[in-house]
Structure 1
Amino acid sequence: MSHHPALQLAVQIQGSGYPILCLHGHPGSGSSMSVFTRHLSDRFQTIAPDLRGYGQSRVSEEFEMATHLVDLEALLNRLHIRRCLVLGWSLGGILAMELALTLPERVSGLILVATAARPRGSHPPMSWQDNLHTGIASLVNRVYPSWQWNIDTFGKRSLYRYLIQQHTTVAYRYLADEALPAYLQTSAYAHRALNQALRSGYNRLEALATIQIPALVLAGECDRHITAQSSLETAQHLRNCQFKCYPQVAHLFPWEIPTQVLADIDQWIATQPDAVCPSHLFQ
């Protein structure tokens, strides 16, 4: 386990009601979960921290992945949250599963987006042209969000072609507002902590059998970062799980088809009352 003391994470809290902890991916920040928090905070209290080394949760020393769990437990304690639903995207989904494994009494349900307990990618090698086009597309898109010429000229030839499948103006608006700032704020320490975990062959599939709470696993058919197949494998190891795979979208699919994703989350929540209103609170 981690030897670091907990960091007081920067956090965005919206709405009121049963708490939903929203965990971002890499690179990311609490703000990059706005596609979920804006919608869910109508009915729930959404809690979207910047993980250690991301956004405003700045660090000046190396850490390992387990340290995120120390920070998140401290956050729940600080906010007096006994139990919550956890929604995690990509790396956030891995941390959501780890929270359910290490603090089972505090997690009432899991919504796992573009993630896996044994993550596997199918990303082709990156060329310098890919990086150049991505840089240009990102900067132009920041100044002129969703400009079709930039999408066609640079966006579709950049690394965005692996992150999104449908090059919609909606997706590019999210890329401008949230992806680029989060990327620029992600520390080298966070990059190294993640790479270290992936190099060590991260695999928690066998442990998932102990998770009894309801889970929803959502995947994008064309995800090259964490393949839909590895998300399906995770869903099959969770005992109480629904799985949905969306066609013709990739790793950032909540930004490609937000309306559909949010409707499916709403529907799942409606069928899993224990995930957002655990009965023991009333006993």
Structure 2
Amino acid sequence: MSPANAPSTPFPLSVRQQGKGFPILCLHGHPGSADCMGVFTDSLSEQFWTIAPDLRGYGKSRTRTPFTMQDHLTDLEALLDRLGIEECPILGWSLGGILAMELALRNPTRFPGLILVGTAARPISNLPPPTALELLFTLLAGGLNWLKPGWHWNIDTFGRQSLLKYLLAQHNPTAYRFLARAGGPATVKTSRHAHNALNRALAQHYNRIPDLAALDCPCLVLSGAEDRHILTQASYETAQHLKNSQWICYPETAHLFPWEIPARVNRDIQEWLRTHFNAEQGRL
């Protein structure tokens, strides 16, 4: 993603809204959807107004037209304008965290806080090429998990041998139920244009580390210790370059750690929010 602002026409995003009070913009990853953010919004909406859009090319925000990563920023700013939201913190997971940082760099006063989940300003991964057997086991694990979410036999027989071993460190039924409810459908509904936009951005060796000094807002940076999609070292590097950040690394978890240990992650997020924001009036 280039830092330059490229003019584009906003896309009317499908959006899932819950709760009331001070707003929090919640951005999913790739592949993903607003439903994937339910692990956060179902809890946060008890006190806050959560806005979780399907990004362009994902979920219900269907498009047949190619787009760039920069277009996501235009879409999201237009969504907030439409909802009459002048300022709000952002919770972003993976790609959503990168978009959160981009939005804050673009308009720092509008976004007074960032919760960055499994993401980095200079994302680095160490995933090996998938094998044919891993791909087969992934199809079998996903199909059986859709039919019987959280089935221990499927997890132990296929799940642990599939590509899910790079997304999960704790292969527990809770995580697999999230996969069945949100992860699988989101993967199917992610468009080729979304894949292409992300691949083009990654090919440019995305790196916003030098620009993070411009952000003064409080930031919570969360990482899974065994994340291979965005290495925990990259997450830590991001936290170190943010002026006002708290970094938490969860042992024995991977990229989908919010689905592995949802109660603990939500407890840490709620505690951080209580420190920096009022559910009715915004920042303290």
Alignment TM class, shorter chain as reference: over 0.9
CA distance in 1, matches of 2:88, 2:275: 17
Superposed CA offset, 1:175-219 (max 9, x none): 111000000000000000000000100000011000000000000
Given the alignment, which residue of 10, 13, 22 partners 1:9? 13
Q: Which runs of 4+ in 1 moved over 6 A?
A: none
CA distance in 1, matches of 2:155, 2:245: 37
Q: Does the 8 A contact of 1:2 with 1:64 survive in 2?
A: no
* Aligned ranges 1:1-283 → 2 under 5 Å: 1-273=5-277, 277-278=282-283
Superposed CA offset, 1:150-182 (max 9, x none): 001100000100100000000000011100000
| Consecutive unaligned residues in structure 2, runs of 5 or more | none
Deviation at 1:51, TM superposition (A): 0.1
The residue type equivalent to 2:168 in the other structure is I
CA distance in 1, matches of 2:270, 2:19: 16
Q: 3-state SS of the aligned residue for 1:108?
A: coil
Q: TM-score normalised to the size of structure 1?
A: 0.97
| Consecutive unaligned residues in structure 1, runs of 5 or more | none
Superposed CA offset, 1:207-247 (max 9, x none): 10000000000000000000000000000010000000000
CA distance in 2, matches of 1:47, 1:35: 13
Deviation at 1:104, TM superposition (A): 1.3
Q: 3-state SS of the aligned residue for 2:220?
A: strand
Cα RMSD, aligned residues only: 1.1
The residue type equivalent to 2:185 in the other structure is P
CA distance in 2, matches of 1:24, 1:125: 24
Q: TM-score normalised to the size of structure 2?
A: 0.96
CA distance in 2, matches of 1:177, 1:132: 21
Q: 3-state SS of the aligned residue for 2:20?
A: coil
Percent identity, please: 56
The residue type equivalent to 1:35 in the other structure is V
Superposed CA offset, 1:118-155 (max 9, x none): 00001111111111111110011001111111001100
CA distance in 1, matches of 2:85, 2:139: 40
